[in-house]
Amino acid sequence: MPDEPHFVCIGKIHRSHGIQGEVVFLPLTDFPERIRRGKRVYISEEHIPAVIQSVRKKPPFLLIHFDLFSDERQTEWTKNKFVYVSVQDLPELPAGEYYFHQLIGLDVVSPDQVHVGILREILETGANDVYVIQHDNGKEELIPAIPQFVKKILIDEKKIIIEMPEWI
Protein backbone atom coordinates (compact mmCIF):
# COMPACT_ATOMS: atom_id res chain seq x y z
CA MET A 1 0.00 0.00 0.00
CA PRO A 2 1.36 3.44 -0.87
CA ASP A 3 1.20 4.94 2.63
CA GLU A 4 2.81 1.99 4.42
CA PRO A 5 6.15 2.68 6.08
CA HIS A 6 9.28 1.71 4.21
CA PHE A 7 10.95 0.19 7.28
CA VAL A 8 9.82 -1.73 10.37
CA CYS A 9 11.80 -1.85 13.62
CA ILE A 10 13.01 -5.31 14.64
CA GLY A 11 15.21 -4.45 17.61
CA LYS A 12 17.58 -2.16 19.42
CA ILE A 13 21.35 -2.20 19.80
CA HIS A 14 22.28 -1.65 23.44
CA ARG A 15 26.07 -1.49 23.31
CA SER A 16 29.18 -3.06 21.89
CA HIS A 17 30.30 -6.50 23.08
CA GLY A 18 33.90 -7.57 23.11
CA ILE A 19 36.64 -6.22 20.86
CA GLN A 20 35.71 -7.74 17.50
CA GLY A 21 32.73 -5.58 16.58
CA GLU A 22 29.83 -7.51 18.07
CA VAL A 23 26.85 -5.67 19.58
CA VAL A 24 24.29 -6.56 22.24
CA PHE A 25 20.93 -6.54 20.48
CA LEU A 26 17.44 -6.69 22.00
CA PRO A 27 14.91 -8.18 19.57
CA LEU A 28 11.63 -6.22 19.38
CA THR A 29 9.84 -8.56 17.03
CA ASP A 30 7.50 -11.50 17.29
CA PHE A 31 9.83 -13.36 14.92
CA PRO A 32 13.37 -13.26 16.44
CA GLU A 33 14.21 -16.46 14.57
CA ARG A 34 14.30 -14.38 11.38
CA ILE A 35 17.28 -12.42 12.70
CA ARG A 36 19.99 -14.57 11.18
CA ARG A 37 23.21 -14.62 9.22
CA GLY A 38 22.94 -13.05 5.76
CA LYS A 39 19.91 -10.88 6.63
CA ARG A 40 20.04 -7.29 5.33
CA VAL A 41 19.03 -4.75 7.97
CA TYR A 42 19.18 -0.98 8.38
CA ILE A 43 20.75 0.68 11.42
CA SER A 44 19.42 3.91 12.98
CA GLU A 45 16.95 6.47 11.66
CA GLU A 46 19.41 7.09 8.81
CA HIS A 47 18.76 3.48 7.69
CA ILE A 48 22.39 2.58 7.12
CA PRO A 49 22.44 -0.81 5.36
CA ALA A 50 24.25 -3.70 7.02
CA VAL A 51 24.34 -7.46 6.68
CA ILE A 52 24.32 -9.75 9.70
CA GLN A 53 27.50 -11.84 9.72
CA SER A 54 26.77 -13.88 12.85
CA VAL A 55 24.20 -14.24 15.61
CA ARG A 56 24.64 -15.77 19.05
CA LYS A 57 22.03 -16.08 21.80
CA LYS A 58 22.50 -14.43 25.17
CA PRO A 59 18.90 -14.36 26.50
CA PRO A 60 17.04 -12.06 26.38
CA PHE A 61 19.57 -10.54 23.98
CA LEU A 62 21.37 -11.60 20.83
CA LEU A 63 25.02 -10.93 20.13
CA ILE A 64 25.26 -9.80 16.53
CA HIS A 65 28.19 -9.07 14.28
CA PHE A 66 27.42 -6.85 11.27
CA ASP A 67 29.56 -6.65 8.14
CA LEU A 68 30.20 -2.94 8.87
CA PHE A 69 32.30 -3.51 11.99
CA SER A 70 35.63 -5.18 12.67
CA ASP A 71 36.28 -3.78 16.17
CA GLU A 72 34.46 -2.19 19.11
CA ARG A 73 35.43 1.37 18.15
CA GLN A 74 33.43 1.09 14.94
CA THR A 75 30.28 0.10 16.86
CA GLU A 76 30.28 3.03 19.32
CA TRP A 77 27.86 5.14 17.25
CA THR A 78 25.27 2.33 17.28
CA LYS A 79 24.65 2.45 21.04
CA ASN A 80 20.87 2.70 21.67
CA LYS A 81 20.09 2.75 17.92
CA PHE A 82 17.14 0.88 16.48
CA VAL A 83 17.52 -1.69 13.70
CA TYR A 84 15.02 -2.00 10.87
CA VAL A 85 14.12 -4.25 7.98
CA SER A 86 12.51 -3.17 4.73
CA VAL A 87 8.75 -3.71 4.57
CA GLN A 88 9.35 -5.39 1.20
CA ASP A 89 11.45 -8.04 2.96
CA LEU A 90 8.74 -9.00 5.46
CA PRO A 91 7.33 -12.47 4.93
CA GLU A 92 3.72 -12.76 3.89
CA LEU A 93 1.41 -13.64 6.75
CA PRO A 94 -1.36 -16.23 6.57
CA ALA A 95 -4.80 -15.02 5.46
CA GLY A 96 -6.53 -13.02 8.15
CA GLU A 97 -3.30 -12.01 9.91
CA TYR A 98 -1.76 -8.54 9.64
CA TYR A 99 1.29 -6.63 10.72
CA PHE A 100 0.53 -3.79 13.14
CA HIS A 101 1.79 -1.20 10.65
CA GLN A 102 -0.90 -2.37 8.21
CA LEU A 103 -3.67 -1.69 10.74
CA ILE A 104 -2.62 1.49 12.55
CA GLY A 105 -4.21 4.50 10.91
CA LEU A 106 -7.15 2.61 9.42
CA ASP A 107 -10.65 4.07 9.71
CA VAL A 108 -12.85 2.30 12.21
CA VAL A 109 -16.51 2.03 11.24
CA SER A 110 -19.61 0.38 12.65
CA PRO A 111 -21.28 -2.52 10.81
CA ASP A 112 -23.63 0.02 9.19
CA GLN A 113 -20.60 2.04 7.95
CA VAL A 114 -20.86 4.91 10.48
CA HIS A 115 -17.42 6.43 11.17
CA VAL A 116 -16.27 5.61 14.73
CA GLY A 117 -12.67 6.83 14.69
CA ILE A 118 -9.11 5.88 13.73
CA LEU A 119 -7.04 2.96 15.01
CA ARG A 120 -4.12 4.78 16.68
CA GLU A 121 -2.34 2.03 18.61
CA ILE A 122 -2.40 -1.68 19.34
CA LEU A 123 -1.62 -2.82 22.87
CA GLU A 124 -0.31 -6.32 23.35
CA THR A 125 -1.74 -7.95 26.46
CA GLY A 126 -1.45 -11.48 27.73
CA ALA A 127 -4.90 -12.56 26.62
CA ASN A 128 -5.46 -10.64 23.37
CA ASP A 129 -4.46 -7.42 21.64
CA VAL A 130 -6.39 -4.26 22.43
CA TYR A 131 -7.15 -1.61 19.80
CA VAL A 132 -6.87 2.03 20.83
CA ILE A 133 -9.47 3.89 18.76
CA GLN A 134 -9.35 7.66 18.68
CA HIS A 135 -12.66 9.42 18.06
CA ASP A 136 -12.86 12.68 16.11
CA ASN A 137 -13.21 14.60 19.40
CA GLY A 138 -9.86 13.19 20.59
CA LYS A 139 -11.36 10.77 23.10
CA GLU A 140 -9.90 7.25 23.03
CA GLU A 141 -11.65 3.91 23.45
CA LEU A 142 -10.02 0.56 24.17
CA ILE A 143 -11.57 -2.35 22.29
CA PRO A 144 -10.45 -5.98 22.68
CA ALA A 145 -9.25 -7.27 19.30
CA ILE A 146 -11.44 -10.35 19.36
CA PRO A 147 -14.01 -11.59 16.82
CA GLN A 148 -16.88 -10.58 19.09
CA PHE A 149 -16.00 -6.91 18.40
CA VAL A 150 -13.69 -6.87 15.34
CA LYS A 151 -16.00 -8.03 12.59
CA LYS A 152 -13.91 -7.44 9.49
CA ILE A 153 -10.57 -5.97 8.45
CA LEU A 154 -10.60 -4.50 4.96
CA ILE A 155 -7.00 -3.55 4.19
CA ASP A 156 -7.69 -2.49 0.58
CA GLU A 157 -10.52 -0.20 1.72
CA LYS A 158 -8.43 1.04 4.68
CA LYS A 159 -11.09 0.28 7.26
CA ILE A 160 -11.93 -1.98 10.15
CA ILE A 161 -15.52 -2.86 10.94
CA ILE A 162 -16.06 -2.99 14.68
CA GLU A 163 -19.14 -3.74 16.72
CA MET A 164 -18.70 -1.39 19.66
CA PRO A 165 -19.19 -3.03 23.06
CA GLU A 166 -22.38 -2.19 24.94
CA TRP A 167 -20.42 -0.74 27.86
CA ILE A 168 -19.25 2.18 25.69
Residue 122 lies in a domain: yes
Residue 2 lies in a domain: no
Whether pLDDT at 145 is above 80: yes
Q: What is the pLDDT of residues 34-48, one digit of tens each?
A: 899 999 999 999 999
User: 85 and 105: one domain?
Assistant: no
What does the mean pLDDT of the chain come to? 92
User: 12 and 79: one domain?
Assistant: yes
Whether pLDDT at 3 is above 80: no
Whether pLDDT at 12 is above 80: yes
Question: What amino acid is encoded at 162 in this protein?
Answer: I
Q: What is the pLDDT of residues 36-90, one digit of tens each?
A: 999 999 999 999 999 999 999 999 999 999 999 999 999 999 999 999 999 888 8
User: 83 and 106: one domain?
Assistant: no
Look up the pTM and report it.
Answer: 0.73
List the CATH number of the domain containing 121.
Answer: 2.30.30.240
Q: What is the mean pLDDT of residues 3-31?
A: 90
Total domains in the chain come to: 2
User: 22 and 84: one domain?
Assistant: yes
Residue 167 lies in a domain: no
Angle (CA) 30-64-62 rounded to 5° is 45
User: 43 and 73: one domain?
Assistant: yes
Domain residue limits at 133: 100-162
User: 78 and 21: one domain?
Assistant: yes
Whether pLDDT at 22 is above 50: yes
User: 36 and 70: one domain?
Assistant: yes
List the CATH number of the domain containing 77.
Answer: 2.40.30.60
**What is the full DSSP assignment across the chain?**
-TTS-SEEEEEEEEEEETTTTEEEEEE-SS-GGG--TT-EEEETTTTEEEEEEEEEEETTEEEEEETT-SSHHHHGGGTT-EEEEEGGGSPPPPTT---HHHHTT-EEE-TT--EEEEEEEEEE-SSSEEEEEE-TTS-EEEEE-STTTEEEEETTTTEEEE---TT-
User: 75 and 35: one domain?
Assistant: yes
Residue 48 lies in a domain: yes
Residue 1 lies in a domain: no
Mark which of 89, 121, 144 sits at the end of a domain. Answer: 89
